[in-house]
Amino acid sequence: MKNRDKWIAIAFLAFILIIPAVTVVRGFLPQEDVVISQEQQDALLNANGTMQDGAHGNAAEDTAQTTQPAQPQELPWFTKVQNTLNSFTERLFGRTKLIAFNTELTSLLTGGTYMESTQVLKGKNDWLFYKTEMDGHPIWDYMGINHFTEEELATMAANLTQMRDYFENERGIDFYITALPNKEVIYEENMPDTIARVNEVSRSEQVAEYMWENTDLVYIYPKQQLIDAKEKYQTYYSTDTHWNQLGAFIGLQEIFKEAYGTHADLDSVSFRVDTETFAGDLATIAGVTEDYSQDTYFVFEQESADPAQYRDEVCFVVGDSFSGFLSTIAKGYYKEVHWIYTKDFTMDKVDELQPDVIIWETVERYMETFLNENLLVK
C-alpha cells in the first residue's frame, strides 16, 4: 500500500513538473499549435463584435478610427509578476487539451449538465449559452431580475424620440429602431433547469412594451416572430452567441413590415449552406470545438430577394454584433448599405454617407445604450 501511494505521488509530481518544464523548452521553439488563452478568448469575442467594448473587425470599413493610443504607464512590481505568471500559465504545454479534457470530464461527472467555463453555460440538447457578467448580463436578462425603473424607461423613450425627431425633421432621414432578444429568451427550452426564470418578462420585452404604449416610434421587437420560426428553422446558433442569417432575415422583414408595409417569408428566399459543421465562439472558448461542430452556416443569396421590396436608398445600420448579419441581409434590399458599431458612431459618418435610412439596433444585453443621452453629440 505504501509503495503504491509513493508511486502515485511520484507520478503526480512528475506530471505537474513536466508540463512547466516542457513549456519553458517550447518557448525557444517555433510554435505550431494554438493555445486558447483568456486573452485570446476575449480577442475572439471582440473580433466578432460580441463584447460591447471590443475591437470590431467586421465593420472596420465603415468605422471611423478616432481613438488615440494610450500612453504607457509604469506598472507596480506585483502587477508585473502577476502578468508574467499569467502569461506563463496561458502558454502551458497541452493547455488547450487540458481545458477540453476538464470540460468533458466535468460534463461526464455531472451527467452532461455542467461545463467548466467562466463564459459558457451548457444547456440541454448540446446548446451552449453566454453566461458572462462582464459583457452585459444575459443570464440576468433571462431570469428577469434586472428590469429597468420607470425613470430609466422614460429616459430611454426621451432619448430615442429626440434622435428620431432630429434625423427625420432636421436631416430628412427615416429612423427605425430594432431591439433583439438574447438567445436564452428565444431558446429557453434548451436552458438548464438550474437557471430559473423569476420573471418571464425579460427587460427587452419590458422596454418594447413601454415604447409601444408611450411613444410613436417605429420600434421593432421580433421576439414572437423568432419564436414562431422555431417550428421550421433554427434562427440562432447553438454554439455561438449570435443569431444566424435566417434569424437576421426575420428581423429585417419585421422592420420592412413596420416601415414599408411589405413582408416576405423565409420560404420565399434562398440560403446557401457553407458548412454543416460550424463551431461558434462559445464552443471555441470552452475548448470543445471537436465535439460541438454541429451548426449549419447559412448565407443569404441576395438575388433571391423579392424585387418588389427593393429600396432605391442608402441604408446606414448602427448597432452591436447582431447588426452584422442584419446589414448582410439588408444588402439584398437597399441600393447601398453601410454598417458601424454603436460605440464608433459619429455624426461625421452621417455627413459622409448621407443615408436615407438609419436602422438603430441593439441586442437585449446592451440595452443600456438607450440611456446614453450623448449619442447625437458624438
The residues near 116 (Cβ < 8 Å, ≥ 6 apart) are 102, 103, 106
**Among the listed residues 133, 127, 139, the one whose alpha carbon sits nearest the alpha carbon of residue 282:** 127
Q: Do 244 and 235 meet the contact criterion of CB atoms below 8 Å apart?
A: yes
> Which pLDDT score, from 0 to 100, does residue 287 have?
86
pTM of the predicted structure, to 2 decimals: 0.76
12-39: per-residue pLDDT in tens? 555 555 545 544 444 444 444 444 455 5
244-266: per-residue pLDDT in tens? 999 999 999 999 999 999 999 99
Residue 72's pLDDT band (cuts 50, 70, 90): very low
d(CA 308, CA 315): 17
* Total number of domains constituting the chain: 1
Q: Do 323 and 339 meet the contact criterion of CB atoms below 8 Å apart?
A: yes
261-317: per-residue pLDDT in tens? 999 999 999 999 999 999 999 999 888 999 999 999 999 999 999 999 999 999 999
Residue 305 counted as domain residue: yes
Q: What is the DSSP string of 85-118?
A: HHHHHHT-TTHHHHHHHHHHHHHHHTTT-----S
Q: What b/e readout covers 16-53, taking b as 16+ CB neighbours within 10 angstroms?
A: eeeeeeebeeeeeeeeeeebbbeeebbebbbbbbbbbe
What is the pLDDT averaged over residues 152-180? 97
Residue 261 counted as domain residue: yes
Residue 91 counted as domain residue: no
Task: Name the grid cell of 317.
Answer: 445600420
> Which pLDDT score, from 0 to 100, does residue 68 have?
34
> Which pLDDT score, from 0 to 100, does residue 181 have?
96
> Which pLDDT score, from 0 to 100, does residue 119 have?
87
d(CA 136, CA 367): 9
Residue 92 counted as domain residue: no
Domain range for residue 223?
A: 120-377
> Which pLDDT score, from 0 to 100, does residue 3 have?
62
Residue 245 counted as domain residue: yes
Residue 94 counted as domain residue: no
Cα 166 to chain centroid distance, Å, stands at 29
Residue 64's pLDDT band (cuts 50, 70, 90): very low
Residue 58 counted as domain residue: no
Q: Name the strand (E) or helix (H) holding 323.
A: helix 323-330
User: Which own/partner pairs from 103-111 qualify as long-range (CB within 8 Å, at least 24 positions apart)?
Assistant: 103/286, 103/287, 103/288, 104/288, 104/291
Cα 37 to chain centroid distance, Å, stands at 19
Residue 85's pLDDT band (cuts 50, 70, 90): very low
Residue 134's pLDDT band (cuts 50, 70, 90): confident
